[in-house]
Chains A and B, each alone.
Chain A
Amino acid sequence: MTATVTEAGPHGVGGAVAERPAPHQTLPDVLRERALTARRMVIDMAASPTGCHLGGSLSAMDILIAALDRTASSDDGSQVVLSKGHAAAGLYAALYVTGILPEDPVPHYGAPTHHFTGHPGPAVPGVRFPTGSLGHGVPYALGWALSRRLSGSGGLGIAVAGDGELQEGLVWETCQVAAAQQVGNLVLFVDRNGGQNDGLVADISPQPRLAERFEAFGFEVREADGHDVAALRELLEPDRSAATRPLAIIADTVKGKGLRPVEGKAASHYVTIDAARATSWKRIVR
């Protein structure tokens, strides 16, 4: 496994420029560094006039960092689709620190002059599909994975969905198709942070025995710590070109992860803060 080391932007503590990872750093060190920088960027976007979906961006961050590194460090045509498109701020930050997005999105998030909208669209480098209407990213990723299979590449179609998003029927319709067509190079991450817009998934529409559900659909299933970025990255390493069962990775995460004042709180779903609070939060985020 090789690391793709990229320059980080001006999103260190208190606005200081983050250090470029040293050459001797291991890939896990690099990925953790990227995730921390990206979390600070998300806090900065929460301090923009529009605010952002903070809690879900932070919960999905380690998944995104791992998945995007998988695509950036291979030329097999793998593609990541953020199906829970409301975590756009997290995606933009993750794309930037991975070196896929050349422009720092923070100064332009939500602005009329730029494409960094509250839900991502294909005008943003590194984004192939429009997401935000939940459920669609999973079949996009399935189609992409199938295209890689047809073209003989070992590339993955990687969808990152929320656990609340699993309430959309389209997700399960797609799982049915993926298993039936034996698209083993589809990887579906579930960012299981337990929250959704109006409260807790467990209160609104619980999902008991989720792993068994995916297994019953014909998926391979892994359950993982959704904040162990190195372990998540390892799960994406095996060659899946001959796999016949799609892979579901149920990643247990914490809404607002890394930012103790909001961790696990439903109110972190959408947050707008001022600059002083952003500075304070960037000091303590981990």
Chain B
Amino acid sequence: MTLPGRTAYREELTSIAADNPRVLCLEADLGGRSHPFATAYPDRFFNVGIAEGAMVDMAAGLAAGGYQPFVSTFAPFAALRAAESLKLALGYLGAGITVVAPYAGVSGGWFGTTHHCLEDFAVVRAIPGVTIAAPYGEQEMRAVIRRAARTGTPHYVRTGRNAAPVSLPWQGTDPPVVNWDDAGARPDRTCLVSVGEVGTELCLAVRRADPGLAHAHLCFVDQPHLELAAAELAGRYDRFVVVEEHRPAGSVGSALALLLSGRVVRSVNAGEGWPSRGGSHEQVLDQLGLNEAAVWEALAPWEERPLGAGAEMGTGNGTGKGKST
């Protein structure tokens, strides 16, 4: 049994707070009625209400006063509504604030476009000094939160709603710059690069269908981490397909395309459409055309799709179109 990212965050932070009295937990009315931190440390838990911008700015004041604030609200409200506060507090001030942002991508499914966030990498990656993580599974989330608490530096942590995948294994304390999943892969073939829960899920599915393809999983996607990742990727492969639940503009794929000069980089992303219908997370992804079929389409110039691979993943004929660019 593994926990969804946002649940793992709450539990890990509560655990850290036992030994670190400077850790504070702030929520903006979306932390749930039985937050474990609130139960364990009510004096250090603040539900500020529906006030995302004020929450991040307040966190800057708390950080300046010697505390380590962890703030959380849904990704669209954290990255877009409070964008200026992120710029000033996490970027310009370099305040040791961690922002944990569930409901990223279209994991809100039928909640609709106001509750989707396909733009957060573009916004937050443009703010220097912020470590950006998109952990895959409980163990990665816990490790990222421990890293944020240990370093006391600005972090933005993107996660989904209720998905609870099993993290890929790694050695060491922090998730590596590149977590290689390429045992049995051939160096002359294409390397899948996965970002976030959906990107990683799709890459794992493709690799299950064709184990000869390599897979490189990225947990950290801020510019310094991507520069390190690009050097490592270029050392092993020449062609890459980057898969992520984000718009093409400001995507990890677009950043890697610039960093991997001379290599071939294609991006599978959520395109530029606005999903107008309801449905589950997977169904809304289908409306955007972000599914296994789109990954195979991106691989098509070089890789043969095994018979039946990705057939169950939908048609990708919705309002948007997951793009290989």
| Chain A residues within CB distance 8 Å of chain B | 77, 79, 121-122, 128-130, 133, 135-136, 139-148, 150-151, 157, 170, 173-174, 176-177, 180-181
B48 & A181 in contact (Cβ 8 Å cutoff): yes
Closest 4 CB pairs of A and B: A143-B61, A147-B65, A139-B57, A143-B58
A129 & B51 in contact (Cβ 8 Å cutoff): no
* Interface members, chain B 21-75 (any A CB < 8 Å): 24, 43-44, 46, 48-49, 51, 53-55, 57-67, 69
Choose among B24, B46, B61 the residue that contacts A129 (Cβ–Cβ < 8 A).
B61
B64 & A177 in contact (Cβ 8 Å cutoff): no
A141 & B46 in contact (Cβ 8 Å cutoff): no
B92 on the A face (CB < 8 A): yes
B182 on the A face (CB < 8 A): no
A130 & B65 in contact (Cβ 8 Å cutoff): no
Residue of B with least CB distance to A144: B61
The answer to whether A141 and B53 touch (CB under 8 A), given A130-B92, A151-B66, is: no
The answer to whether A174 and B84 touch (CB under 8 A), given A122-B93, A147-B65, is: no
A151 to B93, CA, bound (A): 22
B85 on the A face (CB < 8 A): yes
A143 to B88, CA, bound (A): 14
Q: How many B residues are at the interface, by size bracket?
A: 20 to 34
Contacting residues, chain B, for A180 (C-beta < 8 A)? 48-49
The answer to whether A173 and B65 touch (CB under 8 A), given A129-B93, A140-B60, A143-B59, is: no
The answer to whether A173 and B53 touch (CB under 8 A), given A147-B67, A181-B48, is: yes
- What's the nearest-Cβ distance from chain A to residue B49, in Å? 6
The answer to whether A143 and B64 touch (CB under 8 A), given A122-B93, A133-B84, is: yes
A180 to B44, CA, bound (A): 15
B53 & A170 in contact (Cβ 8 Å cutoff): yes
Contacting residues, chain B, for A176 (C-beta < 8 A)? 49, 51
Choose among B44, B59, B69, B85 the residue that contacts A136 (Cβ–Cβ < 8 A).
B85
B58 & A129 in contact (Cβ 8 Å cutoff): no
Contacting residues, chain B, for A130 (C-beta < 8 A)? 88, 92-93
- What's the nearest-Cβ distance from chain B to residue A56, in Å? 21
Residue of B with least CB distance to A153: B65
A147 & B66 in contact (Cβ 8 Å cutoff): yes
Q: Mark B151-187, 1 if CB is under 8 A from A, else 0.
A: 0000000000000000000000000000000000000
A260 to B55, CA, bound (A): 42
A173 & B51 in contact (Cβ 8 Å cutoff): yes
- What's the nearest-Cβ distance from chain B to residue A138, in Å? 8
A171 to B14, CA, bound (A): 31
Choose among B43, B51, B66 the residue that contacts A174 (Cβ–Cβ < 8 A).
B51
A145 to B65, CA, bound (A): 9
Residue of A with least CB distance to B64: A128
A148 & B84 in contact (Cβ 8 Å cutoff): no
Query: 8 A-B contacts, Cβ less than 8 Å apart?
Result: A129-B64, A129-B93, A140-B60, A142-B54, A147-B64, A174-B54, A176-B51, A180-B49
A174 to B61, CA, bound (A): 13
Contacting residues, chain B, for A122 (C-beta < 8 A)? 92-93
A151 to B44, CA, bound (A): 11
Contacting residues, chain A, for B49 (C-beta < 8 A)? 176-177, 180
A136 & B57 in contact (Cβ 8 Å cutoff): yes
Contacting residues, chain A, for B46 (C-beta < 8 A)? 146, 181
- What's the nearest-Cβ distance from chain B to residue A135, in Å? 8
- What's the nearest-Cβ distance from chain B to residue A172, in Å? 9
A136 & B88 in contact (Cβ 8 Å cutoff): yes
A144 & B53 in contact (Cβ 8 Å cutoff): no
A143 & B93 in contact (Cβ 8 Å cutoff): no
B64 & A144 in contact (Cβ 8 Å cutoff): yes
A101 to B270, CA, bound (A): 51
- What's the nearest-Cβ distance from chain B to residue A271, in Å? 27
Contacting residues, chain B, for A79 (C-beta < 8 A)? 64
- What's the nearest-Cβ distance from chain A to residue B165, in Å? 35
- What's the nearest-Cβ distance from chain A to residue B84, in Å? 6
B61 & A142 in contact (Cβ 8 Å cutoff): yes
The answer to whether A143 and B51 touch (CB under 8 A), given A130-B93, A133-B88, is: no
Choose among B44, B62, B92 the residue that contacts A143 (Cβ–Cβ < 8 A).
B62
B64 & A139 in contact (Cβ 8 Å cutoff): no
Contacting residues, chain A, for B43 (C-beta < 8 A)? 150
A157 & B61 in contact (Cβ 8 Å cutoff): yes
Contacting residues, chain B, for A77 (C-beta < 8 A)? 65
Contacting residues, chain A, for B85 (C-beta < 8 A)? 136
- What's the nearest-Cβ distance from chain A to residue B288, in Å? 32
